[in-house]
Structure 1
Amino acid sequence: MLYMVSVQKNGHHECGGFLINVYFVVTAAHCGGDDLKYVLLGNPNLKSSKMKKIRVNSTCKPKDYVDVGNGNDIMLLQLSEKVPLNNTVNKIPLPTYEITLRENQTCSVAGWGKVDENSSSVDDLRVVNVSIINSSDCNKKWEGYLPPNVICAGGYGTNKGFCQGDSGGPLVCNGRAVGVVSFNRGFSCHYPDVPNVYTNISKYLQWINKILNEKKCV
């Protein structure tokens, strides 16, 4: 998972993220804004001296982002320098068109967040496989509270899913980052509960590609 990034706030891990371009990282919009100063990348252990620290130049959120509950929970971080790609750092591809994931399809999610709601964040990157949940079933479990443009996977009917501190990390299916960790219920990862919710990256490709091409927020 050479694309994994720790988004830092006040010198500490705040959220996950992932490298999609030598100048840009994707994370969740709710992770912050101008208070996100640095990213760390290049090692699965946050305490490693081999971690590369790069300053964040600017943060780009969709213009209609208000809060997590209203959706559009995706953000691009423009980095202050070009990331050298090598055997410890690489980017992950995004979908090339709007996708529909298969129910029960196995994907994965990774992060440095809590392993359960009573623990603290971890230094070593964790990864877990999660299954895609049908969107209408997910909507029923959430009693109609889901925002548009989301993917549901894990967290329901299983003890596998994401937890606090994993926000902004990627949902990876078939080698592509298809979702961004967005929210679970009540800031709790007490499983099994309701499905975990991710922002559907394929719904934002036009916006992402415009930023990558123009190298600035749009």
Structure 2
Amino acid sequence: MRSLYKFLFFHFLTCFGLEETIGSEIIHGKKVPEQLMLYMASVQDSSGHHVCGGFLIAEDLVVTAAHCQHGNPTNVVLGAHDLNKIDNDTNRYTAESCLHPRFANSRTGNDIMLLKLSKKVKMDKNVQKIRFPNSDIKIKDNAKCRVAGWGFTRNGGKTVNVLQVVDVPFVNLKVCKAKWHHFGLDLPDSAICAGGYGSNKGFCKGDSGGPLVCGGMAVGVVSFNMRNNCDYPTIPNIYTNISKYRHWIKDKKRECKM
């Protein structure tokens, strides 16, 4: 029976796929005021094309999703909520990727990557870093969190230039695992879930790598959901639990160099 579940799951993926497309917009969200969420980063390729979201955790370090590596990220834009209003001299930074060594694909976990910036960012009214957990997180079921990005706003839609944000409910991990197990996927313990189930809000194509923010702290990294399933509610959205990688992040702060 387990083999049958897996066969049906991968058949489902063949037809519909997982949200692993590089660059993932926000469903039923709203524009982010320019003075808020100043840690948000647009991760871009060498041509200046937005491929993923990310967030600043130190003066020279941005967190994003490991699967974003497929988009060949070489640049990070900070301090620009509107991607049509980028000053390359002040907003753009070259970056080197530090991929988690055990990452294989989003479904098996370790979907986290650090981007080491070529120079330190000056914290000011346009750019600020965000805190991340220094211990295992404990978040109540249905707690209101938020996710932001420049991705699709609906199925078959398109990305936007102005940063969007939406509130999403935190989903109990046991419930989340059970929902995904029904489709033959056993989520890793490093996953956390929010939105996409019991809610008409969540992320979609183009928001990958962005943060799940709860209580003013980045607790998750946008990883995947069911492609063509951004109209909700069906199965919870999946994020990488940052607290599981806090020691790795701290080590990479020293080791990851340009």
- In the alignment, does 2:47 pair up with 1:29? no
Decide which of 41, 44, 48 is 1:8's aligned counterpart. Answer: 44
Secondary structure at 1:167 match in 2: coil
Partner of 1:204 in structure 2? 245
Give distance in 1, aligned partners of 2:158 and 2:124: 31
Q: Which amino acid aligns with 2:207?
A: D
Q: Given that residues 112 and 125 in structure 1 are in contact (C-alpha distance below 8 angstroms), is that contact kept between their aligned partners in structure 2?
A: yes
How far apart are 1:34 and its partner, in Å?
Answer: 8.2
Instruction: Return the TM-score normalized by structure 1.
Output: 0.94
Task: Specify every segment of 5 or more residues in structure 1 that has no aligned partner in the other structure, as ranges.
Answer: none
Q: Is the 8 A contact 1:2 1:91 kept in 2?
A: yes
Matches within 5 A, 1:49-198: 49-50=86-87, 52-56=91-95, 58-143=96-181, 145=185, 146-186=187-227, 188-198=229-239
Within 2, Cα distance between the matches of 1:34 and 1:141? Answer: 30
Amino acid at match of 2:122: P
Q: Identity rate of aligned residues, in percent?
A: 50
SS of the residue aligned with 2:151? Answer: coil
Q: Which runs of 4+ in 1 moved over 2 A?
A: 213-217
Tell me the TM-score normalised to structure 2 length: 0.80
Residue 38 in 1 paired to residue 75 in 2? yes
Structure 2: where are the runs of 5+ without partners?
1-36
The amino acid of 1:197's aligned partner reads I
Q: Distance in 2 between matches of 1:126 and 1:60?
A: 27
Larger strand share, 1 or 2: 1
Q: Which has the higher contact order (CA 8 A, sep 6+)?
A: 2
Note the alpha carbon deviations across 1:48-102, whole angstroms, 9 max, x for none. Answer: 144701111x211221110111110000000111111100001001111111221
Distance in 1 (CA, whole Å) between partners of 2:105 and 2:41 is 23
Distance 2:142 2:229 in 1: 23
The structure number with the bigger radius of gyration is 2
> How many residue pairs are counted as aligned between the two chains?
216
Deviations 1:101-149 (A, max 9, x none): 2111111100000001211110010000011111111111112621220
- Kindly report the root-mean-square deviation, in angstroms, between the aligned alpha carbons of the 2 structures: 1.6
Check the 8 A contact 2:98/2:256 in 1, yes or no: no
Residue-by-residue CA offset, 1:169-217 (whole Å, 9 max, x unaligned): 0000111100000000136423112000000000000000011134449
